[in-house]
Each structure stands twice: as C-alpha cells, then as structure tokens.
Chain A
C-alpha cells in the first residue's frame, strides 16, 4: 500500500467517495459534491469562453482597430442577455435565429449525403459485393434486414399479407440490434466504474501495481 501524499489526490478521492455515498442513500455529502460540480463546470466554461473566444476573436482585433464589423455582431450576441429581462426577452430570438439558421442550413445537404445517400450505397448489392462470397452473403442479409426493419416502422397500412411476416423479421433484427446495444452498454457503464476504482485503488491508495 502506498497512499498518496498529494493533497489534490486526497481532495479528488474524497469528492469521489462523496458521490459514491449516494449508492447507500442520498445525503448532504453527495449534495455538496453535486452542487460543487455544477459551479466549477460553469466557472471553467466562462474562463475558456473569455480567454479563447472573446479576447482573441473580438476584443483584441477591435481594440487594434481591425475588424470593426465585429462590433454590431457582438451587439447581436449580447442580445442573449435579454432572455432575463421579461419586457424585451423577444430580442433573444435574433442571435438564436442566426445560429439555428446556419446550423440547420449547413446540415441539410451534408447529412443527406452522409446519413442517407452513403448508407443507401452501402446497402445496395452489386456484383462488387460478391468479390468475397462470404461478404456477399452478409450483404444480402443486411439488405433483407434493412428492408424488414423499415417495414416494421411503416404504420400507414394495416399489417396483413406480406407486410406481416416481413415486419416480424424486422422485429427479430431489431431485437438482436438492441440486445447488442444492451450488451455493449453494460460494458460501457462498468468501464466508467472501473476508471474510478483505478483512481481510488491506484493513484490514491497505491494498491494497484
């Protein structure tokens, strides 16, 4: 055992245990840790938004007489503050409109290509899919699975005739997919806990060699 003498490691360990104490039951230590986290997270964000965006991209150029068009842009940005003044809170719509408009507009053509066209290309079977016969069979299964999955979510017609068995095959694929996701989710959650224990047992208590 080689317990750390670094005060910050002790602070980190105590805060870690304070959050873990929630597992026994809710208590003031957990609440303290929770509120502390929210405060520091916001203070950290304020720091970097100031030092890495506002100072280099706004205050520095404007104070040197460059890019003076940034002044009206900054005024538009400051309209975010009006969110907290009820009489003029409608002004917050302007900066939101600019950010939202650009984000939505830029996203449309790009996500159509990335999430629909490229995915369609990967689903369609061509002769090239059978360059390796095994990969070709998996490609056929994927095509069948995609069609059946989509048919399961098609609620505009009654499930009868061919749609019924096709939808059922879709459910089978979906259940396997969700099972795979659940299995991996278990791994993910356990990993997060392992990380904390590696800190407590390793960095703090020195039990891990």
Chain B
C-alpha cells in the first residue's frame, strides 16, 4: 500500500465514505430501543403551549372550541396526538367542540380522533351529563371545498357552509347548532396543520371576523410561525410532537389535581425518550462528519 492509499483508507476516510444504510440502521435502533425500554421524563410546557392551555381552560363556558383538521396522514404522527389532547381537554372542561377538515384526507383522521376520545370518556361516564354525545357536546361538520368558502362562510353561519354534518345529519337539527352558530360563539379555533393553512385562517377568519386562532403545527413549520405568536395573531402554539407532549402533561397535571380517575394513554410523551436518543445521534453524526471532514481536508492539504 502506497502512502496516498494509506491516507485515503484511514479511519476517518472510511468513515466519510460509510454506506448510508449503516446510518439508517443506527437511526432505527436509537428510535426503537427507547420505545421498548422507555425512560420517560416529565416534559415542561413552554410559554406558547401554556398560554394555549390556559386560554382553553379559562375561556367562557358558552364559548366553543373548534378544531380544524388541516393535516393529512403523512404528518399524522406529529399532529394526531395534539388533536387527541385538545379533545380530551375540551371534554374534561365541559367545552362544546366543533370539528371540521379542510382537506378530504383529514376527514378519516378527525373521525378517528373523535371516536377514540368519545369512547374514552363514555366508558367511564356514570351519567348522561358525564357522557359526550354527538350532536349535543360535539359536532363533526366534515369537509367542504374550497377553503375560502369554509373560512369566510363560517363567519356568517356555519350551517350554510355545512348543511349536513360528516354523518349526513342536517346540522340545523342538532342541539349543539343553536350554541355554535358562527365565529362569535367560538372561543378559539385550533388549526392543527401540516401546511400553511393556519396562516389562511389568520388571513380569512381572524382579519375579517376577529376570531382567536391557535395553531398546532409540525415542527418544520413551527419555527416560522413564531412571528405570528409574537404579533399575537396566534394565541398559542403546539410545536410538533414536543408540543403535544407538553400539552398532554399539562392535562395530566390538571386531571391529577382534580383527582380524576381517567387514565389516558399519552403517545407523544411516550415518544420523548426516542426523540432524545435520536437527537443525540444526529448531533453525534454531525460532529463526527465534521471531524472527519476537517481531518481528511488537513491531510489532503
């Protein structure tokens, strides 16, 4: 082996040329192992999350929470836990809930979330008042298109935009409809989105009708949405799986304080140990990549 070959086949050179599938294998392991052997640490809510939680917790009783399912199956891992946590919070505090989807692919996800959370509460319900009933405590309006029709139409009368709900029942016939007629009956509209739809809610719904908007965003978008948090256009924000975990923790603390016997699975919190190890792995990859880069570059020069 000649000297240049020895240089090119050194440890750092080989590390620079490593097959990407080894990197994939490391990522798979660092995410999988903590899911099976978790080390859960209680997340601490950041101000955007606690502001949102506090607003929903303390808004007037007659005001409803509306959740807009603005995500699709590709981003449901990050965003679905947010929808679940928001629904649980609303039902725990006795808020009326309206749900809609701005994408046809969000319909199934919204319906699944409502079905799951309603079942969680109804299993433990002792009386009719404890139960959550479709048409009385919540309504799933479904989906319509285009979104400008939905966002502007809801400011006038929601039943004009959704004359039938997701299940095909006339919305005017539902008891909840007399309590959620338009934006003025809504305490906050939560846009849980994997795209820029929350900005459309701000532009169309908030600009014209002054409705409070909250945002549940993928972490990719969350960094960009801090400008809207700063301006007050978003009341609060859940950023990615971490935001969902923090919200779940706030809700768990509230239930514990109230002495509730509800035990609810917290998927986002369960994921935090894998998130931790994965982040450390990525940092190690970047550090090693840079060390290798500088070592090999120095050798070449």
Residues of A that sit less than 8 Å from B by CB: 23-24, 41, 44-45, 48-49, 52-53, 56, 99, 102-103, 106-107, 110-111, 113-115, 118-119, 121-122, 142, 177, 180-181, 184-188, 190-198, 201-202, 207-208
| Contact, CB under 8 Å: A194 / B77 | yes
**Is B51 interfacial (CB-CB < 8 Å)?**
no
**Is B184 interfacial (CB-CB < 8 Å)?**
no
| Contact, CB under 8 Å: A44 / B105 | yes
Q: How far is the CB of A91 from chain B (nearest CB, A)?
A: 21
- Bound Cα distance from A190 to B76, whole angstroms: 13
For A201, list chain B residues within 8 Å (CB).
32, 35-36
**Is B299 interfacial (CB-CB < 8 Å)?**
no
| Contact, CB under 8 Å: A185 / B105 | no
Residues of B that sit less than 8 Å from A by CB: 21, 24, 27, 31-32, 35-36, 74-78, 80, 104-105, 107, 142-146, 148, 152, 163-164, 199, 202-204, 206-208, 218-220, 222-224, 227, 230-233, 239-242, 267, 270-271, 274-275, 278-279, 282
From known contacts A122-B230, A184-B219, infer whether A106 and B152 are also in contact, taking CB-CB under 8 Å.
yes
From known contacts A107-B203, A110-B208, A192-B77, infer whether A187 and B275 are also in contact, taking CB-CB under 8 Å.
yes
Q: How far is the CB of B267 from chain A (nearest CB, A)?
A: 6
| Contact, CB under 8 Å: B146 / A190 | no
| Contact, CB under 8 Å: A190 / B278 | yes
| Contact, CB under 8 Å: A193 / B36 | no
- Among A44, A121, A184: residue with most chain B CB under 10 A: A184
Q: How far is the CB of B247 from chain A (nearest CB, A)?
A: 14
- Bound Cα distance from A114 to B210, whole angstroms: 11
| Contact, CB under 8 Å: B227 / A119 | yes
Contact pick for A177, options B223, B230, B278, CB 8 Å? B223
- Interface of chain B: mostly helix, strand, loop or mixed: helix
From known contacts A52-B142, A193-B27, A197-B274, infer whether A187 and B231 are also in contact, taking CB-CB under 8 Å.
no
- Bound Cα distance from A82 to B29, whole angstroms: 52
Known: A194-B31, A194-B271. 5 other contacts (CB 8 A): A24-B21, A49-B104, A114-B233, A185-B220, A196-B77
For A193, list chain B residues within 8 Å (CB).
27, 31, 77, 278
- Bound Cα distance from A194 to B178, whole angstroms: 42
For B242, list chain A residues within 8 Å (CB).
187
Q: How far is the CB of B170 from chain A (nearest CB, A)?
A: 10
| Contact, CB under 8 Å: A113 / B105 | no
| Contact, CB under 8 Å: A190 / B231 | no
Report 28 cross-chain contacts, Cβ distance below 8 Å, ordered by A residue.
A23-B21, A41-B105, A44-B105, A49-B104, A52-B144, A56-B163, A56-B164, A110-B203, A114-B203, A119-B227, A142-B230, A180-B223, A184-B219, A184-B222, A185-B220, A187-B219, A187-B240, A187-B275, A188-B78, A188-B240, A190-B31, A191-B78, A191-B219, A192-B74, A195-B80, A197-B31, A201-B32, A208-B270
| Contact, CB under 8 Å: B203 / A185 | no
From known contacts A44-B104, A190-B31, infer whether A181 and B224 are also in contact, taking CB-CB under 8 Å.
yes
| Contact, CB under 8 Å: B164 / A102 | no
For A103, list chain B residues within 8 Å (CB).
146, 148
- Bound Cα distance from A188 to B242, whole angstroms: 9
| Contact, CB under 8 Å: A122 / B232 | yes
Q: Which residue of B lies closest to A117 (CB)?
A: B207
From known contacts A184-B223, A190-B278, infer whether A114 and B271 are also in contact, taking CB-CB under 8 Å.
no
For A190, list chain B residues within 8 Å (CB).
31, 274-275, 278-279, 282
For B145, list chain A residues within 8 Å (CB).
49, 53
- Bound Cα distance from A106 to B144, whole angstroms: 18
For A197, list chain B residues within 8 Å (CB).
31-32, 35, 274
- Bound Cα distance from A141 to B208, whole angstroms: 31
- Bound Cα distance from A49 to B142, whole angstroms: 12
For A56, list chain B residues within 8 Å (CB).
163-164
For B24, list chain A residues within 8 Å (CB).
23
From known contacts A110-B208, A188-B78, infer whether A118 and B231 are also in contact, taking CB-CB under 8 Å.
yes
For B206, list chain A residues within 8 Å (CB).
114
| Contact, CB under 8 Å: A191 / B275 | yes
- Bound Cα distance from A195 to B164, whole angstroms: 33
From known contacts A44-B105, A187-B219, infer whether A119 and B231 are also in contact, taking CB-CB under 8 Å.
yes
Q: Which residue of A lies closest to B271 (CB)?
A: A194
Q: Which residue of B lies closest to A177 (CB)?
A: B223
